Amino acid sequence: MQTRTEALYRLSRSKFRSSFHLNEQDRKYVREKGMDTIRAHAYDFVRTRLAPAWPDNDGKQTPMKGHPVFKAQHACACCCRGCLEKWYKVRKGTELTELQQEKIVNLLMAWIEEEMKARP
C-alpha cells in the first residue's frame, strides 16, 4: 500500500469516494465513544468482514451507513476485497496479514480524524 497521505489524496480525487462524510450523528458517536473504541471497532470489522480470503457476501458486506467506520471503509475503498484489489493491489483469495489489517485500520482512522477536524 502507498502511504496514508498518498492514499487519502488519491481518494479525494475520486468523485465517489470523496462523497462520503461523517454526519452529525456519526461525529457525536465518535465523540461519545472515543477514538480508542472506534479503532477497536475498525479492527473488528476489518478482521471479520475483510481479512478472510473469501469474505461472506464480498462486495456487499459493508453497509453504507450505520457506523462511522462503515463510511470510512467506503471513503477509503476498504469496503470489500474487490475495492482493495482495485485501489491497493491487495489480491483477492488470500487472507490479509496482520500488517495489512493494521495499515487498513490506520487509513480508516486517519480519514475519521480528518472528518472530525473538518466538521467538529
Choose the weakest-confidence range: 13-22, 34-43, 111-120. Answer: 111-120
Give tens-digit pLDDT for 79-95: 999 999 999 999 999 99
Alpha carbon distances (Å) from 81 to 8, 24, 84, 112, 116: 18, 29, 5, 21, 27
Give the mean pLDDT of 21-39: 97
The count of structural domains within the chain is: 1
Domain limits for position 102: 4-118
Do residues 68 and 24 make contact, with C-beta atoms less than 8 angstroms apart? no
User: What does the mean pLDDT of the chain come to?
Assistant: 94
SS (H, E, C) 4-72: HHHHHHHHHCCCCHHHCCCCHHHHHHHHHHCHHHHHHHHHHHHHHHHCCCCCCCCCCCCCCCCCHHHHH
Confidence band, pLDDT 50/70/90 cuts, at residue 119? confident
Residue 30 DSSP SS3: helix
Task: Quote the pTM value.
Answer: 0.94
* Residue 90 pLDDT: 94
DSSP category for residue 16: T
Using CB atoms within 10 Å of the CB of residue 31, give its burial: 0 to 12 exposed, 13 to 18 middle, 19+ buried: exposed
